[in-house]
Structure formats: C-alpha cells, structure tokens
C-alpha cells in the first residue's frame, strides 16, 4: 500500500502553480487556498488523482469575487425591487468603472484645491431641471426625505394628509420615517379626501413644513380628493414634495405619475425622489428646490451621513447626460416579433400580457405587451438555471416576457428555455 499523504500535492506548490495565478488575482489568495484544501482532502480520500488537483480547483472556484448573480428579467416588471430596480445604461456602467479608482471627485485638478464633491452630477441635475435653484444628491429617496424633514422641521411639526401616510414596502412606512427625525406629524383630512382648509387649520407657529407624498404603490378611486402643490404653497410654509419615482418631467406614457419639474413650478420648496426608479439610474436620492431650503439641507450634519458614493455620482451624471436608459427603453419596448420568434423556437404559445412599471410606481398603469406561455414547471427551472431567468407565473402558466430582456440576450434566453424543456 502506498502512503496516500505523500502523493498529496503541497499547498505552497499548488498556490505557486502558474495555472492558479489568474484565479488568485481575480478572487484572492484566501479563496483559492480554501479550494486547494478541499481538493487535497479529495486526494486523501482517494477520490481524486494528484495530477487532477489543479483542474479540480479551477472548476470549483466561482467565476467572480461577488456572489451576486446577473439575472435575466423576463417578468415584464421594469423596476423589479428584488432584482435591484433600474438596470444601468452602458454609459452609466462605464462611468462607474471609471470612477472606481482614484478620481477627482473632490479635487480641482487645475488648482490642486479641494472642490465640491460630485459637482459634475450636481451640474447635470441642475441642467436637467432648470426649475430648481439648487440641488443635492444623497444615498436614496428615503434619506432625501429624512434630510428634508429633519432640516426643515425637527422639533417642529410636519403637516401631512391622512391619504398620504403610505407604506412603501417591506414594512417601511413613511410616517415612521418622518417621526424618527424628531418632527411631530400633524395628520390632516381623511383617507380618501383632504381639502385645503384641513391644512390651513393646522398651519401655525410650530409648523416646520407641509409634506406631500406621492402614494406611489396604490390608487384610490371613488369619492376622493387631495390638494395640489400650487394651493399648498400659498399657505406660507415650505412645501416638501416626495414624488417617489424620479420622473424629472411629465411623461405621456405615465400620465398619473407626478414629476419633479411640475412640482417645482407649482411652488414646492423642496422635491425629493429616487435615482433608481423611473430616472433609470443608480440608487440615489435627489433633492431639488429653492436655494434657501436646499442650503439648509446641505448644511445639516445628516447630509454627511447620507453622502453618496463616488461611483453612484458617476453613474448618476452619465444617466442624466447620457443615452436613453434601459428603463426608458423597457417601458416602450415593442417585443411582438422577438416574442413570436422565441415562441416558435421553443414550442410555446404567444399570449398578450400586461407588463408593469414596478418598484412601487404607476400602480394603475399596465404596459401592453407579449409573452411566451410555457408549462408552469419551467419557471422554477429557469430561475435555477445558468444564467438565472426570472419568469412570471400567472394562470397556471410560466410567462416569459421579453420587455426587460435586452435583444442581445435573446439567444441566451432561447437556449435557457430549451434546456428547461428537455
Ligand atoms: C420609493 C419611494 C421612496 C423611497 O425611495 P428609496 O430610493 O427606495 O429610498 C420614498 N417615497 C416614495 C413616494 C417612493 O415611491
């Protein structure tokens, strides 16, 4: 009997093997070492030949240092929260990569002095919305709202309609968020109707601001009423408007969705929204408004706590200045011909479906489109495949909707579906 331990290749020799050098660069020495140890155990257990260790290690190692996996979104839901909301444009992706090393995010290269952080992104935002006197960018929409209500109303009162006390998902409620700032909420009106007098009766010495929140993930119909920004701004206190989705100007495709420019024109003091919803950019919170109010936000210590990452600033600038975003394209995608081709290739049937904006936006708006209907078991196989494909299950069918699948991925998707049907 041979002593198997003597034939187990040594760790240092394996790690020094040029065939593993690329993996060490890509994934780090610790990850490769772990895979090497696992392979050595296999040799000791006589399940692996010593000369196969390198190949075993290479095939066991993950393709990337992140466990996050790219997913093909075949749900027809454009802003899918569980899939990271907005997919970035190629321009934004390149901007992020460009900003990932040392960059002049806070430095003026011509003078060598410190310069305003993210000034390129801020300038792009000001240009996109000239109605705003001043703008700020923070981490996300919730941070923008907290910053606005803290800076304008901490220790004072925030007047808000009962019809706008919304939960935006995952148990996350805007009233709780506002209360956490130390401001006191003054609820006015009823769930379905609030009129100007309701607000007027509550506005007084202690009012820090009025808050208007877009109830972005539900609709009310029937005997309803709410007060517009223009009327509210006549009450003599700052009006903070959370429009939610980040639509900068009106969009005919989404007629019920409020936009930043219109809110400002109507007299809002501060408007807040997300960067990764309908704007189609990175996670960010945008703040736009009157200089006197936005300046108060900028000077507040919380602003530093909500500071945006340099790569997000880069992606935001590229989104604002760059080409049409994937979100914009998906909202308008004409997928009939591609869907027919897929249905034919995989033997599924072509069906009409309604896509959705998603991400808690435009709840009443359906996006008419097409899908390939397949047996329901296909959905799970697709999700667990490589690449993972997320389809929608409805009416006992798996629906594969190409609205949010880039045309360049059609081949990959077809192969993935065929593999699941075999
Ligand atoms: C999405 C949303 C938020 C939260 O924005 P995040 O960027 O997710 O933090 C706040 N208010 C409204 C109305 C929203 O739709």
Any idea where the domains of the chain sit in the sequence?
Answer: 4-60, 72-82+328-421, 89-323
Q: What is residue 4's predicted lDDT score, i.e. its pLDDT?
A: 61
Contacts of 382 (CB under 8 A, 6+ apart): 74, 388, 389, 390, 391, 398, 400, 416, 417, 420
pLDDT band at residue 1 using 50, 70 and 90 as cut-offs: very low
Q: Best mutation site among 168, 173, 260, 276 for ligand 1, i.e. most ligand atoms within 8 A of its Cβ?
A: 168
Cα 215 to ligand 1 centroid, rounded to whole Å: 10
DSSP state of 65: S
How crowded is residue 193: how many other Cβ atoms within 10 Å of its Cβ?
17
Residue with CA at minimum distance from ligand 1 atom 7: 141
Nearest alpha carbon to residue 209 among 251, 166, 252, 269: 269
pLDDT in tens, 177-194: 888 899 999 999 888 889
Q: How large is the average pLDDT for residues 351-378?
A: 90
Question: Once rounded to an integer, what is the mean pLDDT over residues 311-337?
Answer: 97
Confidence at residue 19, expressed as pLDDT on a 0 to 100 scale = 93
- Determine whether the shortest distance from the Cβ of 247 to ligand 1 is under 6 A: no
Choice from 147, 163, 216 to test ligand 1 binding pocket (greatest atom count within 8 A of CB):
216
Q: What is the mean pLDDT of residues 85-93?
A: 98
% pLDDT > 90, the chain: 85
pLDDT in tens, 138-165: 999 999 999 999 999 999 999 999 988 8
Looking at residue 77, its pLDDT comes to 96
Which residue lies with its CA nearest to atom 12 of ligand 1? 244
User: Which of 274, 279, 284 has most ligand 1 atoms within 8 Å of CB, for mutation?
Assistant: 274
Q: Which of 142, 144, 281, 358 gets mutated to test ligand 1 (max ligand atoms within 8 A of its CB)?
A: 142
**Mean pLDDT across the stretch 59-76?**
94
The rounded percent of the chain whose pLDDT value lies above 70 is: 98
Name the average pLDDT for the chain: 94
Q: What is the dihedral of CA 249, 253, 257, 260, to 10 degrees?
A: -10
- Size of the chain in residues: 422
Res 30: pLDDT = 93
Pocket flag, ligand 1, residue 213 (CB < 6 Å): yes
Q: What is d(CA 379, CA 396) in angstroms, rounded to the nearest whole number?
A: 11
Residue nearest to atom 6 of ligand 1 (CA): 141
Question: Rounded CA gap, 411 and 15, in Å?
Answer: 38
Separation of CA 141 and ligand 1 centre (Å) = 5
Distance 292 CA to ligand 1 centre (A): 24
The pLDDT value given to residue 174: 84
Q: Is the CB of 326 under 6 A from ligand 1?
A: no
Q: Would 72-82+328-421 and 89-323 be classified into the same CATH topology?
A: no
Q: What is the pLDDT of residues 36-47, one digit of tens each?
A: 999 999 999 999
Q: What is the CATH number of domain 72-82+328-421?
A: 3.90.1150.180
CA-closest residue to ligand 1 atom 13: 244
Per-residue pLDDT band for 3 (boundaries 50, 70, 90) equals low
CB of 146 closer than 6 angstroms to any ligand 1 atom: no
Nearest CA to ligand 1 atom 8: 141
The answer to whether the CB of 85 is under 6 A from ligand 1 is no
Q: Which atom of ligand 1 is nearest to the CA of 245?
A: 15
Q: Determine whether the shortest distance from the Cβ of 141 to ligand 1 is under 6 A.
A: yes
- Is 358 a pocket residue for ligand 1 (Cβ < 6 Å)? no
Is the peptide bond between 197 and the residue preceding it cis, with omega within 30 degrees of 0?
no
On the CB side of 168, how many CA atoms lie within 13 Å of its CA? 24
Q: Is pLDDT at 197 greater than 60 in this prediction?
A: yes
Task: Tell me how far the alpha carbon of residue 168 lies from the centroid of ligand 1, in angstroms.
Answer: 7
Ligand 1 centroid–CA 241 distance in Å is 12
Could you tell me if the CB of 263 is within 6 A of ligand 1? no
Phi-psi region of 337 (alpha: psi -120 to 50; beta: other; left: phi over 0): alpha
Ligand 1, atom 11: nearest CA belongs to which residue?
244
Residues 6+ apart with CB under 8 A from 10: none
Q: Tell me which of 55-59, 98-102, 132-136, 166-170 is least confident.
A: 166-170
Q: Which atom of ligand 1 is nearest to the CA of 214?
A: 13
Nearest-atom number in ligand 1 for the CA of 284 is 7
Q: What pLDDT band is residue 233 in, cutting at 50, 70 and 90?
A: very high
Ligand 1 atom nearest residue 144's Cα: 9
The pLDDT of residue 359 is 76
| Calpha distance 77→84 (Å, rounded) | 12
List phi, psi (to 5°) of 255.
-65, -20
CA distances in angstroms from 290 to 136, 202, 309, listed in the order given: 11, 23, 25
Kindly provide the b/e burial profile for residues 242-276, where b requires at least 16 CB atoms within 10 angstroms of the residue's own CB: bbbbbbbeeeeebeebbbbbbbbebbbbbbbbbbb
Residue 172 has pLDDT above 80, yes or no: no
Q: Is 295 left (phi over 0), alpha (psi -120 to 50) or beta?
A: alpha
Nearest Cα residue to atom 5 of ligand 1: 141
**What's the pLDDT band for 6 if we cut at 50, 70, 90?**
low
CA-nearest residue, atom 1 of ligand 1: 244
Residue 328's H or E segment, with its range, is helix 326-331
**CATH architecture, domain 89-323:** 3-Layer(aba) Sandwich (3.40)
């Amino acid at each position: 009997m041979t002593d198997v331990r003597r034939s187990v290749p040594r760790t240092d020799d394996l790690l020094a093997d040029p065939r593993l050098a690329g993996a060490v660069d890509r994934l780090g020495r610790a990850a490769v070492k772990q895979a090497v140890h696992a392979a050595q155990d296999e040799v000791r257990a006589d399940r692996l030949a010593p000369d196969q260790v390198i190949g075993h290690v290479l095939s066991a190692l993950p393709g990337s240092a992140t466990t996050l996996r790219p997913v093909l979104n075949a749900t027809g839901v454009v802003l899918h929260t569980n899939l990271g909301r907005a997919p970035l444009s190629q321009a934004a992706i390149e901007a992020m990569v460009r900003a990932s090393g040392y960059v002049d995010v806070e430095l003026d290269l011509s003078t060598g002095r410190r310069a305003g952080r993210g000034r390129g992104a801020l300038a792009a935002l000001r240009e996109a919305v000239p109605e705003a006197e001043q703008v700020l960018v923070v981490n996300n929409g919730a941070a923008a709202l907290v910053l606005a209500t803290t800076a304008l109303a901490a220790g004072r009162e925030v007047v808000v309609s009962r019809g706008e006390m919304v939960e935006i998902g995952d148990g996350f409620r805007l009233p709780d968020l506002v209360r956490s700032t130390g401001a006191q909420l003054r609820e006015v009106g009823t769930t379905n109707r609030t009129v100007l007098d309701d607000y007027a009766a509550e506005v007084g010495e202690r009012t820090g601001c009025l808050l208007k929140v877009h109830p972005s993930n539900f609709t009310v119909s029937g005997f309803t009423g709410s007060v517009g920004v223009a009327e509210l701004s006549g009450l003599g206190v700052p009006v903070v408007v959370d429009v939610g989705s980040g639509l900068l100007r009106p969009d005919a495709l989404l007629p019920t969705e409020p936009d930043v420019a219109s809110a400002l024109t109507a007299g809002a003091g501060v408007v807040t929204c997300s960067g990764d919803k309908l704007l189609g950019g990175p996670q960010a919170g945008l703040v736009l408004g009157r200089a006197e109010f936005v300046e108060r936000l900028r000077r507040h210590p919380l602003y530093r706590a909500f500071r945006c990452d340099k790569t997000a600033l880069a992606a935001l600038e590229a989104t604002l200045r760059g080409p049409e975003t994937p979100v914009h394209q998906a909202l308008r995608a004409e997928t009939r011909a591609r869907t027919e081709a897929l249905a034919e290739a995989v033997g599924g049937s072509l069906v009409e479906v309604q896509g959705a904006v998603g991400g808690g936006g435009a709840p009443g708006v359906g996006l008419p489109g097409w899908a390939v209907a397949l047996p329901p078991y296909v959905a799970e196989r697709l999700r667990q495949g490589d690449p993972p494909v997320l389809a929608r299950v409805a009416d006992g069918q798996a629906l594969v909707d190409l609205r949010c699948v880039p045309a360049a991925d059609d081949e990959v998707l077809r192969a993935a579906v065929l593999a699941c049907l075999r």
